[in-house]
Amino acid sequence: YNVHRKRSQRAGLEGRSLATPALRQLAGAPTRGDGDDNRAYWLYKEQSFKGVAFSILTHFTEYNFPHTKRVAHCAHLYYMNSHNCMRLCRILIGNASPVRSYCCITSTRLKVHSVLFYAKMDLHSERGDTGQKNNLREEKSPYLLQHVNNPVDWYPWGEKAFLKAKNENKLIFLSVGYSTCHWCHVMEKESFMNHDIAAVMNEHFVNVKVDREERPDVDKLYMTFVQAISGGGGWPMSVWLTPDLKPVYGGTYFPPDNRYYGRKGFMSILKLLALQWETSQKDIIESGSSIIKALQENATIGRSTTAEFQTHIPEPECVQICFSQLAKSYEPKYGGFGNSPKFPQPVNLDFLLDYSTLKGASDSEEALKMCVHTLDKMSLGGMHDHVSQGFARYSTDGEWHVPHFEKMLYDQAQLCVTYSIAFAITNKAEYQDIVDDILTYVSRDLSHPSGGCYSAEDADSFPTDSSVDKKEGAFCVWTEEEIDVHLKDIPSKSPDLVPAAVFKHHFDVRPEGNVNPAKDPHNELKNQNVLIIRGSMEETAKCFNSTVEDVQEIITLCLQKLHIVRQSRPRPHRDTKIIASWNGMMLSAYSIAAQFTGREHYKEKALTIKNFLQKHLCLPSGEVVRSVYVDDQGTICQISPPISGFCDDYATIIRGLLDLYECCLDSSFITWANDLQVKQNELFWDAEDGGYFFSTDRDQSIVVRMKEDQDGAEPCSNSVSVSNLMRLSYYMGNDDYRDKAGMILAAFSERLNKVPIVLPKMVSGFLWYSRPPCMIIVTGDLRSDGCKQLLKTIYSKYIPRRVLVYADNDPHSSLYQNMKNLQHLNCEAGVSQVYVCSDLSCSLPVTTSEELETRLSTVN
């Protein structure tokens, strides 16, 4: 073996063709154990012998060699960039095979070494470590760190990469994604870990990696370009730029070769662009300049100067048009909008809930039915994680069954708000259960002990501890056999009521799996079941001649058992980046849930998030930073310099603070919200045309400042800001805020009049602007039983344009000074009472819940 090894080593240095015969000899030799680690090392270096190398490694793990040999073997695998290191390390620390007992009894040192290698591997990234790290090694973003061991010489977005491109006169290849993106993982595995492709990338391009969640400004700018030239977008986003950052070509996922008919592979595109840059550089530069000019023109949404904005306010009919357009795109069988893939689109559902409360709207009942049907179907479907709570990003089919399994924080936050409001309107207990479900998941799996919330969980994970390749949904799906085995010991009140049978019927579990093969193109879900409820609990009880109570008890016990089982599976990667805007969303989610459900611990969690935002995501200057990170010890850390916050960071935190104020009635939250609004106006306001830019003018690498102009997976910052400005205008007595809200609406008026469906959250903001709010003023001791009962009544009603105020009768408080009407109230000491002001008039104060209930029911 030693002779063969040295011979192949020498041959490898001389050339691949000479190495192959020696490697063939190595591959054909019998597997005997000692020395096979060296043999596998050289076999693995040649692509065609990787399978043989893995076979040798599998045999190797069955031998009880001294621990020093095993650690040496681990080291060889570690440095040869092998997936098998993951498998070996798992085996060595006691997860599989006959080696387990040997390791546990005789080799504590081996365990220590194995754990060290295991930790270094970053098992969630599905690759090994070449021992050569690129320029991402000092970054904190989990997504960038996933690529730190690629053979591609990646750079983070910044001057170092830009100067290199200019000095070497190279195009920049910009790759944008995020750590829980399935197709980002696929492109990395196929292309960025391919040494031949990496060699071309390193020779001809300066390669830049961007985490879209960390730098949404970069993402939005170049995604606009990609969508313009291709008609679609998504991630990973792949864009080629001139050295001065002007885009010349782009797309999303590219296969490594020309495997798809009519579509060039990534290697072909790299070579073609490298050739064009070499031969037609002047034309490419001119093309890039033209593209930037077009992007700049596109970035001007509309013009709305201070003097003329009143004449450009959208027409009142935009509200009805928005509903009509949503109704036209509504899918009546399973709810939601469009066919497949189907996204939850909380911005649409929230508008429908607001629209349903408009008295006089002929379609208000229909709007509520559309929303309720959608929420019901989503909660029953496979996109909802029935075992471990929370919602996946979207459904690949039209019936909410087979999801794309990643879970995003912004989805949990928005859906929590939507279900909370739906609960307040309908009083359906199932919606309160879903609110609890979502917040249980976030609190358990997406929360840092200090209070901040993590970004996401991945769709992909290892099916078993000994698996080498990840599969989408592996953490979440079940075979029928697994259900039978794990639920066989669940107790039942009747011998005829078999828990596994009840569970399989209720969640549509089948022997052959319940996933349509058309929705599983890679056969990752073959014979697997994605749990979905197709009938009611009553129907299941009737099927088994049992009571609803007994069946419900069995289902609950089964779900609890399966949750425990799932915790023993390899977990998906979790992106522990903590983003300001998404935590602002969670601040709203907990605050609103606390009001409508009456759960006190949600208020406490909201306060914890508020404290985290103040401590970790706000600078002494009052400015917001985009994100913070969690190191290996679980400590909150930051890059230097930190990434400045974007407009959505400010807008969502402001909204969260306003919602928290209505939950806690602490005027300091209004003060901080106002300070942030002042800073947002200073950094992002477009004084020429109205509206907010997404980024500041400080970063010269952003060649075009964009304005968010549609509500998508997240509401755009301009939409959120309209409502924020209107609410603050009442709390602060500041008419300038109202004017700014009007200027935003005027700037987007053409879009709101013609296609309001793209801005449903802004249409709700328009209602704030065009109709007087319902102002509810509470006086008395907040700790008294009387005041608590009055607040409970207020929180039981959903009033979309509510301004809730606590009149503390303190002449020095900011609210007392800014809201002049508070100074004229008759606030008797110790008396709890409520003033309800709507349609520009205030009622006499009420002191009982019954009187308040009657008064609120008449609010228009």
The CA-CA-CA angle for residues 812, 813, 816, to 5°, reads 95
574-575, strands of its sheet edge to edge:
407-408, 456-457, 574-575
Q: Where are the alpha helices (DSSP H) in 209-303?
A: 216-230, 266-279, 281-299
Q: Is the dihedral of CA 331, 337, 342, 343 positive or negative?
A: negative
27 residue type, one letter: A
Say if residues 123 and 573 touch (Cβ distance below 8 Å): no
Burial 726-753 (b: 16+ CB within 10 A, else e): bbbbbbbebeebbebbbbbbbbbbebbe
Per-position DSSP letters for 728-758, written without gaps between them: HHHHHT-HHHHHHHHHHHHHTHHHHHH-GGG
Cβ-Cβ contacts under 8 Å for 116 (sequence gap 6 or more): none
655: which 2 tokens?
């909204």
Residue with tokens 């031969």: 279
Give the rounded distance of the alpha carbon of 79 from its chain centre: 34
233: nearest Cα among 242, 224, 221, 241: 224
The CA-CA-CA angle for residues 264, 253, 256, to 5°, reads 50
Helix axes 760-770, 346-356, angle to 10 degrees: 30
Virtual torsion, Cα 711, 713, 717, 721, nearest 10 deg: 70
DSSP bridge partners of 453: 447
Collapsing DSSP states into helix, strand and coil, what is residue 80? coil
pLDDT digits (tens, 9 = 90+) for 410-430: 999 999 999 999 999 999 999
Per-position DSSP letters for 657-710, written without gaps between them: HHHHHHHH--HHHHHHHHHHHHHHHHHHB-TTT-SB-SS-S--TT-SS-----S
The CA-CA-CA angle for residues 744, 218, 186, to 5°, reads 125
Cα distances (angstroms) measured from residue 458 to each of 179, 571, 634, 738, 824: 7, 9, 19, 41, 55
Q: What are phi and psi of 211, to 5 degrees?
A: -85, 115
Cβ-Cβ contacts under 8 Å for 676 (sequence gap 6 or more): 622, 624, 650, 653, 654, 657
For residue 94, what pLDDT is reported? 43
Cβ-Cβ contacts under 8 Å for 101 (sequence gap 6 or more): none
What residue ranges of the chain have pLDDT lower than 50? 1, 12-18, 47, 60-88, 90-130
Domain spanning 774-858, CATH architecture: 3-Layer(aba) Sandwich (3.40)
652: nearest Cα among 615, 688, 694, 691: 694
Say if residues 731 and 815 touch (Cβ distance below 8 Å): yes
Q: In the chain, count of helices (H) and strands (E)? A: 35, 19
Say if residues 684 and 645 touch (Cβ distance below 8 Å): no
Side-chain-side CA neighbours of residue 154 (13 Å): 28
Distance CA 81, CA 136 (A): 18
For residue 71, what pLDDT is reported? 44
Virtual torsion, Cα 322, 328, 332, 335, nearest 10 deg: -40
114: which 2 tokens?
């194995």
Distance CA 699, CA 701 (A): 5
Pairing state of beta strands 774-779 and 833-838? Answer: antiparallel
Run of H or E residues at 206: strand 205-211
Q: Where are the domains of the chain?
A: 142-299, 476-568, 774-858
Q: How many Cβ atoms from other residues are within 10 Å of residue 79's Cβ?
A: 15
Q: How many Cβ atoms from other residues are within 10 Å of residue 157's Cβ?
A: 23
Residue with tokens 């998404």: 582
Most distant CA atoms of the chain, gap in Å: 99
Cα distances (angstroms) measured from residue 648 to each of 402, 681, 720, 723, 843: 31, 12, 8, 13, 37
Side-chain-side CA neighbours of residue 665 (13 Å): 20
- Average of per-residue pLDDT values in the chain: 87
334: which 2 tokens?
């399973």
7: which 2 tokens?
């011979």
Distance CA 74, CA 86 (A): 9
Say if residues 343 and 714 touch (Cβ distance below 8 Å): no
142-299 shares its CATH topology with 774-858 = yes
Distance CA 24, CA 18 (A): 11
Q: Three-state SS string across 514-568, please?
A: CCCHHHCCCCCCCCCECCCCCCCHHHHHHHCCCCHHHHHHHHHHHHHHHHHHHHC
Cα distances (angstroms) measured from residue 116 to each of 110, 165, 462, 569: 10, 37, 20, 21
Collapsing DSSP states into helix, strand and coil, what is residue 592? helix
Distance CA 716, CA 117 (A): 44
CATH superfamily of 142-299: Glutaredoxin (3.40.30.10)
402: which 2 tokens?
């087979």
Residue with tokens 């509520």: 368
Q: For the chain, how many residues are written?
A: 860
Say if residues 347 and 305 touch (Cβ distance below 8 Å): no
397: nearest Cα among 314, 462, 331: 331
Q: How many Cβ atoms from other residues are within 10 Å of residue 223's Cβ?
A: 21
Collapsing DSSP states into helix, strand and coil, what is residue 127? coil
